[in-house]
Amino acid sequence: MTRLSDTETGRLLAQVDGSMAIAERLFGDLAEQTADGGGVTRASYGEGEQLAHDMFAGCAKDIGLEVTADPAGNSYYTLPGSDRQAPRVITGSHLDSVPKGGNYDGAAGVVAGLAAAAAIKEAGIVPAQDIAVMAVRSEECGSWFAGEHGGHLGSRAALGLMKPSELETAIHLGSGKPLGAQMKDFGIDPQRLLDRPPSLNRDMVKAYIELHIEQGPVLEAKGKPVGIVTGIRGNARARAARCLGEYTHSGAVPQDHRHDAVLAAAELLIDLERETLATLAAGGDIVFAAGKFYTDADMHSLTKVPGEVGFTLDIRSIDKDTFVRMSEFATARAAEIEKRRGVRFEIGAFAFSRSTVMNLGHRRSMEQGCALLSLDAMDIASGGGHDAQEFESCGIPSSMIFVRNANGSHNARESMEMDDFEKGTRLLAWMLAGVL
């Protein structure tokens, strides 16, 4: 299972403890230099992200790692292995953030990779192949780019999954420029993406492993510092749904004569919640939200029965059949409500994204590693998307480690404890040095 002796494992863990000084300095400098109104802002292909890449490159050089970049601007900090021609192992995550977000989402994975690489090097362990810490560009592109794009711009570009048209159709919300022009502003030539083959593929990469803070409350609630990610939920999304009723006087029209769009849409959401809870009670995996729910500001009034409401639906599950079934339930239930309440739903076609199962071999190794390293861990599904799913989709064995985080992510209150981070980094270093 592992190539490390007990003595080597002991040296490695001692060096991980020592590398926490590097981690604390990086987190502190990153928070200070990208601070923005209580949180941090590191815009995709923007100043904050570039600052982070420059900062981490300097740290990697101090550790003694090789520093390179690919045509998309992703950074690689490489610890050489004994066979430099062998497919490399990659660990890492992204360095951009949402606006006024938290300091750990994304960055924790790159910091953990650097700390693990430093520990392996200082422990005198030479890995079988190169270990590259990858600082990925533009994972949070959904917060920074409008227009047409497939998300996860940095990892998809490296893997050859990004369409050339996205260089023009993804529009940066800060500058108003298309992706290609935005990249040029930071010294990245988008033409190289078009002229060269993908920077990464399954023949070049043996495995990908990503440490990330948990983005929900599960580990905190269960009292577990570390999670082994089983998979990344796919989703069914209705991005521009509407319910159309009739605007009438809120005092003069009897209740049983109304066609209230808000009550009709609310009934649909309550029915979706009931179906969600029933699915969970039967042992299924599902979450859903209506992240937008709004009346027309030009038409609504305190004294009107609402005649229109817009909303979104985001239904997620590890199991594709589950989120497809729930989308069909929403459509069928809306038709029933229409007949009874005299309204009309325009939900439109649902957009589907695949779910991704993390590599079973990696997961089994991590379970054995947790037992060996006395780490209290649990299996957990990821509700948010990650670069790991892009690697796995290309046939590269991929896995993720979650670290406990009490207050969720994408907000300034992220509260990962360094003791939990060290535990996650121990597992990561052990996997990198002796298993993958």
* Separation of alpha carbons 238 and 260, rounded Å: 21
pLDDT single digits (tens) 255-310:
999 999 999 999 999 999 999 999 999 999 999 999 999 999 999 999 999 999 99
DSSP 104: S
Q: Would you mind telling me the total number of residues written for the chain in this entry?
A: 436
- Give just the sign of the alpha carbon dihedral 384, 386, 391, 397: negative
Strand 205-213 versus strand 88-94 pairing type: parallel
Q: Is the pLDDT of residue 1 over 80?
A: no
Domain annotation for the chain: domains and CATH numbers: 6-232+356-434 (3.40.630.10), 234-353 (3.30.70.360)
- Among the listed residues 45, 195, 26, the one whose alpha carbon sits nearest the alpha carbon of residue 112: 26
Average pLDDT, the chain: 96
* Separation of alpha carbons 264 and 274, rounded Å: 16
396, 202 contact by CB (below 8 A): yes
- Among the listed residues 237, 270, 70, 240, the one whose alpha carbon sits nearest the alpha carbon of residue 156: 70
* Separation of alpha carbons 216 and 112, rounded Å: 20
3-state helix/strand/coil string of 202-253: CCCEEEEEEEEECCCCHHHHHCCCEEEEEEECEEEEEEEEEEECCCEECCCC
30, 123 contact by CB (below 8 A): no
* Separation of alpha carbons 314 and 45, rounded Å: 27
Q: Is the pLDDT of residue 42 over 70?
A: yes
pLDDT single digits (tens) 363-394:
999 999 999 999 999 999 998 899 999 999 99
pLDDT single digits (tens) 418-436:
999 999 999 999 999 989 9
Give the pLDDT confidence score for residue 2 in this predicted structure: 73
